[in-house]
Amino acid sequence: MTRQKTLTPDGALDPLPVLDRLSEVAIEVFAHHLNSAECCVICGTGWPCQQVVLADHNLAVL
């Protein structure tokens, strides 16, 4: 039986669990930082708050 080649070098961490967690956190941010009259209900700042912008950027990278 031959060993299947992978794109992950020996000793490196598999990036997929990290990327999955990144998307989970981004989705949680969207679920909690809601828009109410152009203000974030969690942060109290203008909509979109920094957390939502960062979550949006993280999802865009994926």
Domain presence at residue 19: yes
d(CA 41, CA 45): 8
Domain presence at residue 48: yes
Per-residue pLDDT, 15: 81
Domain presence at residue 10: no
Kindly report, residue by residue over 10-32, the tens digit of the pLDDT.
Answer: 767 788 888 999 999 999 999 99
Confidence of residue 33 (pLDDT cuts 50, 70, 90): very high
- The answer to whether 52 and 40 are in contact (CB under 8 A) is yes
Per-residue pLDDT, 61: 85
Domain presence at residue 4: no
Domain presence at residue 1: no
d(CA 56, CA 47): 13
Domain presence at residue 3: no
Listed in sequence order, the DSSP H helices in 3-49 are: 15-32
Domain presence at residue 32: yes
Any idea which residue has 């957390």 for tokens? 51
**pLDDT at residue 9 greater than cutoff 90:** no
Domain presence at residue 54: yes
pTM more than 0.85: no
Name the domain count of the chain: 1
- The answer to whether 51 and 41 are in contact (CB under 8 A) is no
Q: Domain limits at 30? A: 15-61
